[in-house]
Structure 1
């Protein structure tokens, strides 16, 4: 029998998660839409755009790390009923992180020749890349400002507005892309740079809409900032730096995994790439929950409500396992027709079907691992979050992937990847329960001492 309190907690969790999941879907569609339109320009423009992807991974890793730290520190202050401190933190973090991201974009702009030489870009592609690089970096900075703003809203328990803003900017980009890339009427379009300008304008409109709201809602302060900066900078970096590391580890893992798959041939790489793009849509609910759950946990942490934290995490874990397992089984049964929709080549379709049948059900425990990493950052365990991410990728996932590939070819690779996901989820849950038990023991010792 489910208690009324659990039902109410589930409703709150779902109402906070759903808008973020929809927003993540919109953001994922953002890049996909750009690539679809750019592909109509030809292979060279699409290749030029592709060279920005590794840099985008770095930028996203930095801004997500900042966002996690912002949501964690402010939500903890609110949970501890330190509203004035939360206002000071909001002001410092928004403006400080925005300035840092601007400096990063300027540095990347100046380092363009070095970056693209190291990435192996051909000389004939460089003019195309440079024409796209400047507006793309400006658009990335505005996107970072929006993400920092979303983090502030999440810290205050508001997830609907960020989700709606993500959808709005994606729709704006969808409408502006064909106009800026191909032109309309007498306007001939800007080709590849037009995609970046469309994104820039979409994000600029989003910043105009969102930028006024924190001050209107009384979330900012102009007093006591210097002292707050002295006290909180170390705490902020203690959360942000490990969170960034957690975000950048998957990029390294993806490079290694691609190298392993490439040994099985180009067809295997094509099927692997399609499965990777599908994965992000299959785990949308998990991604939404990793954004909506930390501020709630942060408020509980600030208030010292560890019983509620335990209850909330147990509920979230059940939701993730049940939802992802049911969805994974259904989609695995439909793997063949799903692969036919995604792949035109018969060989790619066959390999993709094999991948989907193994991988999709395993996302139930992969989701648990992602949930634990997000929760650890909110609960003041950033090093444990990095450890869980590292163990997931380099102790569970990659070794199983390599061993499976060596023993059973492509089918073994698929089975190895799924096994790695299962082991990673189990290990992450064990690590979380151990950390919670250690926290309970410390609380008991303090209570006994008192």
Structure 2
């Protein structure tokens, strides 16, 4: 490993570790949450299975906004425009909160139509209504909390977001059995527990942001206009890029629903497990953009290249080891998450096959994250489209046609491998073009 790569590895490790610990706490609490809900029977798991793609849609919006925030703010910091970066914090928080409130409100109003379109029937509507009210509130609070994380990360502080993730997760785990079983609130209790945990997290994170002067209210209209324009330029393609995975998840969920309730319940559980298995990938996609954004502000594309290569190498090695572990642990993990033998058997098939492709999926996600950070949101969108529309969805559909539920798993696995290879080749070529263009610009200025 070269000295440059070694220094990049240390910087990447320092920024990623707090996010990894925080995300591990979040994913662990969600998995425990699913285990608690799983004890309530088959129907609650079915409702969770239908809620997962909608949750991914909400997360897609909030992450799209967060990407824009991190890219714009970290670049401004790299250019030493600290005061402007603080103004961007207030602008992004206001824009994001209002947009997510509107989205959650629409989902509440059209909940039955949404679930029916996914393949649900009227038998789950009563329990769905009781669950979705607190669940959508928790989604909104969680989105605002995520914007707080984005602001802190843009200023180089990953410790506070990581700590808050751990704190909210512990609170959630403690309150889950109390709300679900002691207060006899059923699966709705899990959502209310999340609401309380997120509310406490919001108090902590925004007190930190205020004390560290990471946010300031812009008073001039031209600054607000400039900030909104800058953020919107990134937000639109970044949000569309983030929309694609949840939309594809909705399509696949509807496809899986044709194989019965056991299949959709196992797919919902598998989605929760997947988040846990790709936790290092998610942590790196959160840690990389501020680092890349600052390097971009300094026009240092050599270090950007070294940083991304280091991240990809770490992801591939780690995900391979994790996949091998889950091939051995698929059955006991499945039995732990559900008492239903049919659901457990299908979940075991998923865990024994699909995780082997998560390293390739991680390469694709790193390329998307890096592309956004260097100011290429449209290119990041193109990678996302190629991954899902050319690699993932067609192979999942073909697999379902020829081999049913197991074919879906095979298609997802092969699709991830193909997407990882394609995205890496495209990203290397594009980064080379950007670096060459900037080097030519420097030479022309010097001359």
Q: Which interval holds the TM-score relative to the shorter structure?
A: 0.7 to 0.9
Q: What is the total number of aligned residue pairs between the two structures?
A: 445
1:63, 1:401 → 2: CA distance?
27
**Any residues of structure 2 matched to 1:415-434 within 5 Å, and which?**
415-434=410-429
Q: 1:307 aligns with which of 297, 302, 307?
A: 302
Q: What residue number does 1:231 align with?
A: 226
Question: C-alpha separation between the residues in 1 aligned to 2:258 and 2:298?
Answer: 52
Query: How far apart, in 1, do the equivalents of 2:344 and 2:137 lie?
Result: 39
1:208-287 map, 5 Å: 208-258=203-253, 275-287=270-282
Q: CA RMSD of the aligned region, Å?
A: 3.1
- What are the equivalent positions in structure 2 for 1:334-353 lying under 5 Å apart? none
Distance 2:148 2:315 in 1: 27
Are the counterparts in 2 of residues 165 and 206 from structure 1 also a CA contact under 8 Å? Answer: yes
Q: How far apart, in 2, do the equivalents of 1:191 and 1:267 lie?
A: 20
Bigger mean CA deviation after superposition, 299-308 or 248-257: 248-257
Aligned partner of 1:14 in structure 2 is 13
Q: Tell me the SS of whatever aligns to 1:212.
A: helix
5 Å matches for 1:257-406?
A: 257-258=252-253, 275-332=270-327, 355-404=350-399
> Once structures 1 and 2 are overlaid, which stretch shifts more, 14-23 or 146-155?
14-23
Instruction: Name the TM-score, length of structure 2 as normaliser.
Output: 0.87
Seen in structure 2, the aligned counterparts of structure 1 residues 445 and 348 have a Cα distance that, compared at 3 Å, is: same
Q: Answer with 326-335 or 377-386: which moved more.
A: 326-335
Q: Could you list the runs of 5+ residues in structure 1 that have no partner in the other structure?
A: none
Describe the shift of the 1:265–1:196 C-alpha distance in structure 2 as closer, same or farther (beyond 3 A).
Answer: closer
**Is 1:23 matched with 2:18?**
no
User: C-alpha separation between the residues in 1 aligned to 2:48 and 2:268?
Assistant: 17
Cα separation, partners in 2 of 1:197 and 1:228, compared to 1, 3 Å: same
Taking the aligned partners of 1:295 and 1:182, their CA distance within structure 2 comes to 42
Taking structure 1 as the reference length, the TM-score comes to 0.87
The Cα shift of 1:272 comes to 5.3
Cα distance in 1, alignment partners of residues 163 and 29 from structure 2: 14
C-alpha distance in structure 1 between counterparts of 2:328 and 2:91, whole Å: 51
Does the CA-based 8 Å contact 1:150-1:162 persist in structure 2? yes
Moved more, 235-244 or 74-83: 235-244
Question: Structure with the greater relative contact order (CA < 8 A, sep ≥ 6): 1 or 2?
Answer: 2
Determine the C-alpha separation between the residues in 1 that align with 2:368 and 2:21. Answer: 21
Decide whether aligned partners of structure 1 residues 337 and 370 sit closer, same or farther in structure 2, where only a CA change above 3 A counts: same
2:433 to 428, 431, 438: 438
Q: Answer with 2-11 or 38-47: which moved more.
A: 38-47
Residues 204-240 of structure 1 show CA distances to partners (whole Å, capped at 9, x for unaligned) of: 1111112222121122223444212211322212222
C-alpha displacement of 1:37: 3.3
